[in-house]
A and B are shown apart, each in its own frame.
Chain A
């Protein structure tokens, strides 16, 4: 028999005998499924968080005051806002006015559905500002009327907070705001916010005419450099400029780092435990097959087919476990919404966990790695099994 046929024959025989060792084999499967499920779920949280925050267009830029890591701590005077809107590189609407949106951002205390209070973001936009945010789309109700204390609520915000149905009123710092509409914005962080008319919002909060940030629509993604140069070379402006997607990604940095650390540390420790479990199972699988292996060796089978058969068994179990773990994470958590207060003082943010194909692949790779390590030493033992003793012992 050629080596390949030997390998095939022994492996097939071994796999056919797997159901008899189901009890102990399930230790490998369940152990690895646990590791992969935890790893993938926690990473899905980080992926979902990044996805929500870095949702932004390449041809849109945000301007904040120098050193402001979050919009909320930034203040731009009216003069600064006008100077920014004048800069080169900004797209113009058909009437020739620049597509720039000075935005006001407040943090307000809102009551969550579970009764606890949390900080929510309340953004003020001007009528022209909506041209910079073409992705904002009303789902229900109508747009707020400038000058009136009316607001529209993001669909995630509506899920998070009490009293946010159309027609109900929210009392925020002495003003009663009426909710007149619900909006979506392509899954971005805006969906966790409340939106109102900027001048009305600013006067309710006695903020004068200042803005927190200016969002501009660029002529093209390549026009960013032109715009940035124009802004930074203006001595009257002390501001930072970033592409919207980069600004968001930078804000998600801290939380996603924490989540990744948790995923890899907890997943890593669990993986070590699963390796011990796999080693245990594979060792006992080898000892249960001792007589069979010894017989095969006695009638002329080489050591390699035996090693391969143990390896294939370990890998197969690992793959089943990995697939189960990833499937479990996907079934339980994909699209599951959680909310956190991260990325500076930007208010409570709701996002969906995202079990992406890349995460599933990562989980399967981990599973295979555990299977390989768990199968290695038992495979070596199987190959070294002294034929005569093994035959006699049983």
Chain B
């Protein structure tokens, strides 16, 4: 470490250039962290192996309904602990543009299947006594400044009431606080209403629901239990499609767009540009300092040591700037994270970023370092 001062001095030989190079590396790693963070964050949120839930939908499509009585048959499959169901309400508040993630469900079972939502027994009791009650997630309540006791009219793009019209009024009986991971997700800001009330009041499609959520005893048996459930309804008029929750979510995301491909192409473009830029700056910086390096060699520094100094300088530049960029992206992901899954930068992405920074430093520092090593003192001093 006795050369620290020397490296430091070399780094700041041209302040403006070093700062500009650092800033462009910082920007590149900020983008890298953002895109990879979102990309990996979605994946890691999905591959939580402790997940013991299966989703079952109509085989025809996820928006086709199924008989609510299927639930009783699913319950008979070995390994199934509890079955909940939910149906899309297609709600909006005041204007069709303000979509509200409202779902009708049997809230007791639903709360048992999703302990992550932290719905309290008192809230369940309140839902039980208030037929037109609604339980809503904290983020949703905050967004519209709704509180317990408010009567909220929701429009729906799907359901007409038996008495006519498509405006439904619900009484907010509770606001739940989900676990941090869930409160940022869609379920954390749900608007849950009583299935029984809704089913009686709607004009059509009675006794039918859109999706079953099946809690199982052992996550490692998910595939076998999914198959057993689908077997129950095989060759009936309504076949089911059952998948572990993670797999179902992943498939839905993949339908939206190949996020992976887009993120990787952009990161590739950014990294290529950046590598080019840094390599150029490093080479230029060494070129200008050839006489200085020759002086070092005259003083007795070996060729290898001089090249080590050049590499160290490059490492310092890249690592420092990359670290700053990654830390910034962590902050940015926290802010926008709620939209895309877990909202934190996975450690793996952080480590990957630092590794790329090291690779960048070596690739861009190596050619000038080799040049410094091979330097002929007399020629270099004479600037030939």
Contact = CB atoms under 8 A, between A and B. Distances in A.
Interface of A: 23-24, 26-27, 30-31, 33-34, 37-38, 41-42, 66-70, 72-75, 106-109, 116-119, 172-174, 205, 262, 266, 269-270, 272-274, 276-277, 279-281, 283-284, 338, 340-342, 345, 348
Interface of B: 16-17, 20-21, 23-24, 27-28, 30-31, 35, 59-64, 90, 92, 96, 155-158, 166, 204, 237, 239, 241, 251, 254-258, 262, 265-266, 269-270, 272-274, 276-277, 280-281, 283-284
A176 B27 CA distance: 55
10 contacts: A33-B273, A34-B273, A37-B269, A69-B157, A73-B90, A74-B157, A119-B61, A266-B31, A270-B270, A273-B23
Nearest to A206: B237
A27 B276 contact: yes
Nearest to A333: B265
A159 B35 CA distance: 30
Nearest to B167: A67
Interface secondary structure of B, over-half rule: helix
Given A72-B63, A174-B237, A116 B269 contact: no
B273 A273 contact: yes
B277 A269 contact: no
Contacts of A107: 60-61, 63-64
A173 B238 CA distance: 7
Contacts of A108: 60-61
Contacts of B269: 34, 37-38
Given A107-B63, A109-B61, A280-B21, A341 B256 contact: yes
A277 B262 CA distance: 24
B166 A66 contact: yes
A-B complex: 10 closest residue pairs judged by Cβ atoms: A273-B27, A34-B273, A341-B255, A276-B24, A107-B61, A280-B20, A273-B24, A276-B20, A276-B23, A277-B277
A342 B256 contact: yes
Given A67-B157, A341-B256, A276 B62 contact: no
B164 to A, nearest CB: 9
Nearest to B155: A67
B31 A276 contact: no
Q: Most B CB atoms within 10 A — which of A30, A41, A340? A: A30
Contact of B156 (A67, A70, A274, A345): A67
A116 B254 contact: yes
Contacts of A106: 60-61
A127 B226 CA distance: 42
A156 B274 CA distance: 38
A33 B59 CA distance: 47
Contacts of B31: 266, 269-270, 273
Contacts of A345: 63
Q: Most A CB atoms within 10 A — which of B27, B166, B283? A: B27
A316 B60 CA distance: 58
Contacts of B28: 273
Contacts of A68: 157-158
B157 A172 contact: no
A24 B157 contact: no
B187 to A, nearest CB: 19
Q: Most B CB atoms within 10 A — which of A27, A75, A272, A274? A: A27
Given A27-B280, A342-B256, A269 B241 contact: no
Nearest to B62: A119
A340 B241 contact: no
B17 to A, nearest CB: 6
Contacts of A342: 256
Contacts of A273: 23-24, 27-28, 31, 270, 273-274
B136 to A, nearest CB: 21
A273 B266 CA distance: 14
B61 A24 contact: no
Nearest to B235: A174
Contacts of B254: 116
A12 to B, nearest CB: 25
B31 to A, nearest CB: 5
Given A30-B273, A66-B166, A119 B96 contact: no
B378 to A, nearest CB: 21
B266 A266 contact: yes
A38 B266 contact: yes
B60 to A, nearest CB: 5
Contacts of B272: 30, 34
Contact of B24 (A70, A109, A277, A338): A277
Contacts of B158: 68, 73
A348 B274 CA distance: 36
A269 B30 contact: yes
A54 B158 CA distance: 24
A283 B27 CA distance: 20
Given A109-B59, A116-B254, A273-B28, A279 B273 contact: no
A23 B287 CA distance: 13
Nearest to B252: A341
B157 A284 contact: no
Given A107-B63, A270-B27, A284 B273 contact: no
A71 to B, nearest CB: 11
Contacts of A119: 61-63, 255
Q: Most A CB atoms within 10 A — which of B24, B59, B266, B283? A: B24
